[in-house]
Chain A
Amino acid sequence: MTEVRICHLYPDHMNIYGDRGNISVLTKRLQWRGHSAKVTSVGIGEKFMPNDFDLCYLGGGQDKDQNLIASDLSEKSPAIRSAADDGVAFLWVCGGIQLAGKSYVDALGSELEGVGILDLATIAGEKRLIGDIAISATLDNQEFTIVGYENHIGQTHLGSESRPLGKVLHGYGNNSFSKIEGAVQQRVIGTYLHGPLLPKNPELADLILMWALEHRTSETVELEQLNDEYSELAHKRAFNRALTKR
C-alpha cells in the first residue's frame, strides 16, 4: 500500500467546471486498489513545497479568478518547475493549461506570465471554442480516446519541447485550425478538456496515477484492472455526442 500525495492548487478559485470530480476519481481509484491519497489544498499565500507531492492538479477559473491567483502563482513558479523536473505528475486543465505555458495574453492585450512547465503560449482569440470534444491520444505507448467538453477563448500554440496530448477527432482543441489538443512534457499534461474529464477517461486517470506512484516509490508500477463499465458507457455516450453534429 502506497500513499500518493496530491496537491490541489487553488481549489477555491480554479474550480469552475466541477474540477473536484477529478480529485475524487484519483483518490477513489487509488483506494479501490488498496492504496491511499493524501490531498492537500494549496491556495493563495500558501507555500508549494516541491518535495511534498507526487501529483499536482490545477483546474479552470473565470478570467477574474485567473487574475486573482496570477501574482501568487508566479511566486510559486520556481518550486512548481522543480517538481516537474523531478518527475511529479501534473494534470492542469482548461485555465490550467494556459497557466502551465509561457504566457497568456487576454482579450485586452495584457500579458500574464505562466509557470513554463509546458512549452506553449496562448492568446485570447475572437470567439469562444465551445462544445463536445473527442481526441485520440498516445501516451506511454498506449493509444486511447479521450472525451470531454471544451469552453475557452484561448488560442494555444505549442513550442518544440512539448508534444500534443492528442489529435482532435471532433471539436477544436488548442486552437481553431491545427486539430491538435493539449500538451505533454515530462510528466506534465495540459488539456482544454475541462472539469471532470477523468470519470469518463479511466485510462488517462490510471496513467497519471501510475506516474504518481512511480514518483512516490521510484519503482515501475503495474495497476490492476478495475470494473469500468459505467465509465465505458459514459465515454461511449460522450464520444457519440462529439461525433454527431448538433
Chain B
Amino acid sequence: MYFFARLIGKAIAFLSPILKQGGGTSAPGMALLKIHPDAFSKLASTLPQGSIFVSATNGKTTTTRFLSEIISSDGTRCITNSSGANLKSGIATALLTKKADQEIGVLEVDEAALPEIIKQSNPKMLILMNLFRDQLDRHGELETLAKKWQQMVMDLPNHTKLVVNADDPTLAHIGLQRTGTVFFGLGNAFGYSHEKLQHASDSTNCPECQASLHYSQATLSHMGNWECNECDLARPKLNFEATEIQLDGLSQSNFTVSNNSNVFEVSSKLPGLHNVYNALAAFAAAYELDVDPNRIASTIQQTVAAFGRTEKVVIDQLELHILLAKNPAGTNANIDTVLLQTGPIHLCVLLNDQIADGRDVSWIWDVDYERFFGRIETLHIGGERAYDVALRFLYGGFEEEKITIFDSIADLIDDLVTSIPANSQIFVLPSYTAMLDFRDELVKRDLTHAFWKDGA
C-alpha cells in the first residue's frame, strides 16, 4: 500500500511542473499523505545521513539555501525544498522526489508546522532562527507558538543537535533548557544596530520572570544583546559570534565569525544585517557538522539569494531589487538594507491578502516606513490591497503627488519601465503572493526564471 501510494505521489511529482500546478512543490506530498497518513516518518527515515530542519519567522529560506550549498559543496548529495514549500505536504514532496544517491536533507519548515513535523522525523539537527509576529490570523499569538516550541525542544531526541539564535530572548530561553545547545549571535554591530527597539518588537519582557529586558544592542526587532533587569537571565554565551560587520550597500556584507578558538573571515553577496544572521546560522550549523571552515566560508561567498529575496533583475538601464516583505520585522530589515544604498529610492510596494500573505493586512501599520520617506523619489503601489498601502503612506505623512496606484501588475511594470529615469534603482517590497505575481510578469517578459526552476 505504501509503495503504491508513493508511486502515485511520484507520478504527480513528475507531472505537476508540466501542468504548472503550483510548480509541483506540494501536490505530490499532499496526495501521498492523504492516501497514507503515516508516510511522513517513513519518508524522513530514508535519508542515510538524516535531516536538518531550519525554522524561523524570517530567513529560513535563505539559511536553508546557505546550508544546503555548503553541505553539497564536497559532492554530498543533499535534498532540499528550495521552492519554499515548507508545510508538511511540501516537505513530503521534497522527500518523495529523493534520488537514490541523496544522503542528507536540509529542509526549511514553517514555524507553526514545525512541532508536528519534528515529532515524526527524528532530525539530526534543528536550527531555530527567530520568532516575530507574523500572520496572527493563521499562526495565532506569538506566545502560543513559543510555548509549542518550548515543549517541542523538551521532547527532542538526545542525539538531535540544537542550534539557536541567542539574540532572540524567547528562543535563547528555550535553548537553555537543554545542555549542549549551540548558540550564535551578533557581537558589536556598531553602525548598524539601533539605539532603541523598533516599534514592531515583540518579546521585550523576560521569558523567565516577565520583568522588562535591557538591551545593550538592538539589531532587528526584539533581537540583540539583552539581559533581564530583575533576574539572572541574559543572552547566553555565544559559541559562534559575528563581529567586525561591514555592510557594503546591496552588493555584499563582510564579517568575521569567532568560535572561542578560531576566527574566520566571511564575505557574502547577500546584503543586510538579517542576512548576516542567516549566514552565521549556516556557518555554525555546518561547523558543528564538521565541514571544513574554509569550505564553509567559500561557499557562503558564492551563494546567491533565493528567488524574491534580494533578487536583482536588470531591465534595460534599470536595476530592480525584489525584497520579499511579508511581516513587520522582515520589512523593517529590508528598509534597513535599502537605506544602505546612497542615492534616490524608487519604491514599489505590492500587497495581497491571500492565505500565504496573511489575510489580515493590519501589519503594515507596524512597519516603520517613515524611516525612508525622505529618500523616496517615486512610489508605485499595487496588489489586491493597494489602497491600504496608500493610506499607510498618506497617514504617515508621505507626499501624495509621489504616489501612483495600479490595478494590474503588468501596468505597474510598464509604468516603471517607461517613467523611471535610466540608471535608477527600483526597490520592490512585495508580500508573498504579490512577489509571485510580480515575478510571473517578469518571467512572461523573459526577464527572470520561473521560481520552481530556482537553484536548478
Residues of A within 8 A of B (CB): 12, 15-21, 24-25, 28, 62-64, 68, 128, 130-132, 149, 151, 194-196, 199-200, 230-231, 233-234, 237-238, 241, 246
Bound form: Cα–Cα A28–B393 in Å: 12
A195, B387: Cβ atoms closer than 8 Å: no
Segment 101-152 of B: residues with Cβ below 8 Å from A: 133, 136-137, 140-143
Quote the shortest CB–CB distance from A181 to chain B (angstroms): 17
B360, A63: Cβ atoms closer than 8 Å: no
Instruction: Tell me if B295 is interfacial: C-beta within 8 Å of chain A.
Output: no
Segment 190-231 of B: residues with Cβ below 8 Å from A: 199, 204-205, 210
Q: How many cross-chain pairs have Cβ atoms below 8 Å apart between A and B? A: 83
Quote the shortest CB–CB distance from A31 to chain B (angstroms): 10
A230, B362: Cβ atoms closer than 8 Å: no
Instruction: Tell me if B385 is interfacial: C-beta within 8 Å of chain A.
Output: yes
A-side contacts of B396, CB under 8 Å? 24
B-side contacts of A18, CB under 8 Å? 362-366
A20, B133: Cβ atoms closer than 8 Å: no
Bound form: Cα–Cα A184–B362 in Å: 24
B-side contacts of A28, CB under 8 Å? 395, 397
Q: Hey, what's the 0/1 contact readout for B385-413 against A, CB within 8 Å counting as 1? A: 10110111011110000000000000000
Instruction: Tell me if B288 is interfacial: C-beta within 8 Å of chain A.
Output: no
A230, B390: Cβ atoms closer than 8 Å: yes
Quote the shortest CB–CB distance from B223 to chain A (angstroms): 18
A-side contacts of B137, CB under 8 Å? 130-131, 149, 151
Given A21-B395, A234-B387; 10 other pairs, CB 8 A cutoff: A20-B199, A20-B366, A21-B362, A62-B141, A63-B143, A68-B205, A68-B210, A149-B137, A200-B388, A230-B387
Contact partner, A230, options B133, B364, B394, Cβ 8 Å:
B394
A234, B142: Cβ atoms closer than 8 Å: no
Bound form: Cα–Cα A12–B397 in Å: 22
Bound form: Cα–Cα A216–B390 in Å: 31
- Residue on B nearest A234 in the bound complex, by CB: B387
Contact partner, B391, options A68, A194, A231, Cβ 8 Å:
A231
Instruction: Tell me if B353 is interfacial: C-beta within 8 Å of chain A.
Output: yes
Residues of B within 8 A of A (CB): 133, 136-137, 140-143, 199, 204-205, 210, 353, 359-366, 384-385, 387-388, 390-392, 394-397
- Residue on A nearest B138 in the bound complex, by CB: A130
A-side contacts of B388, CB under 8 Å? 199-200, 234, 237-238
Quote the shortest CB–CB distance from B218 to chain A (angstroms): 15
Q: Which 5 A-B pairs have the closest CB atoms?
A: A18-B365, A21-B365, A234-B387, A195-B362, A17-B362
**From B143, B363, B365, B390, residue with most partner A Cβ within 10 Å:** B365
Contact partner, B362, options A24, A128, A196, A231, Cβ 8 Å:
A196
B363, A230: Cβ atoms closer than 8 Å: no
Bound form: Cα–Cα A120–B205 in Å: 31
Contact partner, A233, options B142, B360, B387, Cβ 8 Å:
B387
* Majority SS at the chain A contact face: mixed
Quote the shortest CB–CB distance from B148 to chain A (angstroms): 14
B-side contacts of A196, CB under 8 Å? 362, 365
**From B199, B359, B362, B385, residue with most partner A Cβ within 10 Å:** B362
- Residue on A nearest B358 in the bound complex, by CB: A149
A17, B360: Cβ atoms closer than 8 Å: yes
- Residue on B nearest A18 in the bound complex, by CB: B365
A24, B141: Cβ atoms closer than 8 Å: no
A-side contacts of B361, CB under 8 Å? 149
Bound form: Cα–Cα A230–B393 in Å: 11
A25, B395: Cβ atoms closer than 8 Å: yes
**From A63, A68, A199, A241, residue with most partner B Cβ within 10 Å:** A199
- Residue on A nearest B384 in the bound complex, by CB: A237
B-side contacts of A149, CB under 8 Å? 137, 359-362
B-side contacts of A24, CB under 8 Å? 365, 395-396
Quote the shortest CB–CB distance from A100 to chain B (angstroms): 20
- Residue on A nearest B381 in the bound complex, by CB: A230
A151, B360: Cβ atoms closer than 8 Å: yes
B394, A151: Cβ atoms closer than 8 Å: no
A21, B387: Cβ atoms closer than 8 Å: no
Quote the shortest CB–CB distance from B202 to chain A (angstroms): 9
Bound form: Cα–Cα A20–B366 in Å: 8
B-side contacts of A200, CB under 8 Å? 388, 391
Contact partner, A241, options B199, B353, B364, Cβ 8 Å:
B353
B141, A21: Cβ atoms closer than 8 Å: no
B387, A237: Cβ atoms closer than 8 Å: yes
Bound form: Cα–Cα A212–B210 in Å: 36
Quote the shortest CB–CB distance from B112 to chain A (angstroms): 14
Bound form: Cα–Cα A130–B139 in Å: 12
B362, A199: Cβ atoms closer than 8 Å: no
B392, A199: Cβ atoms closer than 8 Å: yes
A-side contacts of B353, CB under 8 Å? 241
B-side contacts of A237, CB under 8 Å? 384-385, 387-388
B-side contacts of A231, CB under 8 Å? 387, 391
B-side contacts of A20, CB under 8 Å? 199, 365-366
Quote the shortest CB–CB distance from A201 to chain B (angstroms): 11
A-side contacts of B142, CB under 8 Å? 62
Quote the shortest CB–CB distance from A193 to chain B (angstroms): 10
A234, B390: Cβ atoms closer than 8 Å: yes
Q: List 10 A-B contacts (CB under 8 A).
A: A16-B136, A28-B397, A64-B143, A64-B205, A68-B205, A200-B391, A230-B391, A231-B391, A234-B390, A237-B384
- Residue on A nearest B394 in the bound complex, by CB: A230
- Residue on B nearest A233 in the bound complex, by CB: B387
Bound form: Cα–Cα A200–B362 in Å: 11
B-side contacts of A132, CB under 8 Å? 359
